[in-house]
Amino acid sequence: MIIQGKDYRTVWMEGNLVKMINQPLLPHKFGIIELKDYNEVHDAIKTMVVRGAPAIGATAAYGIAQAVLQFKGSLMSELEAYLAEVNEKLSQARPTAQDLFDGINYVNKKIMNSDTVSEAKDRAATVAKDYADRSADACKKIGEYGNELINENDRILTHCNAGALATVDYGTALSPIRMAHYSGKRIFVFADETRPRSQGSRLTAFELVEENIPHAIIADNAAGYYMRKKEINICIVGADRVAANGDVANKIGTYEKAVLAHENNIPFYVAIPLSTIDLNSETGEDIPIEERDEEEVLYSYGWTRSGNFERIRTSPEKSRAKNPAFDVTPARYITGLITPNGIIMANKEEIAGLFE
């Protein structure tokens, strides 16, 4: 992704350090955070310094590699026991994003094929980078296929941030938008603000500004207004997990956008790498939904004119809140899934075909 005229990835590794863009600082300040061990990697995922399913997966992959490089033992049996602890810690960071478990499993499988600890250490960083590279390549292909759905002068609705910041690079939902822009198509993006953490108004808008893509931030409850006025031609969102039957778990508010799109005969697409598909979840009812801290709803965060990042309570002191981070959109509301292998229907047969 281009930030301040320079190309960045969301997460990468330098030596024994895992580095990433510090997303809570955006859009008002750009910074890089360095994570010294897998415990800090866990905390970065849990506190959403990094977020978005593919980005979480790549971060976990680098966290495993970092743990291997820092391992002090000499026996593969000791390394296996140590990695079991690391895996358990990282896997508990966030429950809904399927890519988290995909990244952990990918690196573990490659590492445990080593004959010696020395060989495992030699391979660790390369294996993790390979996972990240594959993820970025998959998102690029999503963009190429998704671009075919976007017409000249289309007005596109997206929800949350499914851009490069939510992946290693390119994005999922924003990848087709990027490719359409790069190919010279005149497009316009409606970016849902996506409360309570405002990833749309903070992060998606930030990416669109950096790429000079015309857009407007809208309140979450304004999408129906623009759909009914026929000012939206197509909806593209990302996902945190896709069940075997095509049901999709994504940022809270996605379900209502899909229903509104269906009511207004607007195509609704979900852009995903294969790592986001969980064949062990038969339907969306099997997907665990993360419940986050109620303070995200009760408070707002932002930068003051004096340059301080502050939290402000916007609700009564005695009020409590509920804060599900995701909802599930049934497959019947989804026009298609944009994958690195092409555009498919959101059903069990076509999803299974991706893995044959």
Tokens of 69: 């490089």
pLDDT in tens, 36-53: 999 999 999 999 999 999
Q: What does the block give as tokens for 315?
A: 């609700």
Query: Which residues sit opposite 244 in a β-bridge?
Result: none
Inform me whether the pLDDT recorded for 309 exceeds 90. Answer: no
- The pTM score is 0.95
Token look-up 């000249």 returns: 152
Task: Name which residue leads in pLDDT, 307 or 352.
Answer: 352
% pLDDT > 90, the chain: 95
Cα–Cα distance for residue pair 131/62, rounded to 1 Å: 9
β-pairing, 241-243 with 277-278?
Answer: parallel
- Alpha-carbon span 69 to 65, nearest angstrom: 6
> What pLDDT was estimated at residue 274?
97
Rounded Cα distance between 328 and 216, Å, is 26
Q: Is the pLDDT of residue 200 over 90?
A: yes
Q: Of the listed 99, 102, 169, 240, which one is catalytic? A: 240
Q: What is the DSSP letter of 150?
A: P
* pLDDT score recorded for residue 246: 98
pLDDT digits (tens, 9 = 90+) for 181-191: 999 999 999 99
pLDDT at 303: 83
Return d(Cα 61, Cα 23) in angstroms, integer: 19
- Res. 318: pLDDT tops 90: yes
240 flagged as catalytic: yes
Retrieve residue 27's tokens: 């859009």
Segment 279-290, tens digit of pLDDT: 999 999 999 999
DSSP for residue 283: S
Over residues 244-262, the pLDDT tens digits come to 999 999 999 999 999 999 9
Walk me through the domains of the chain, giving residue ranges and CATH numbers.
2-140 (1.20.120.420), 143-353 (3.40.50.10470)
Q: Which two tokens stand for residue 126?
A: 């390369």
305 pLDDT more than 90: no
Cα separation values, 37 from 22, 40, 99, 310, Å: 16, 5, 20, 28
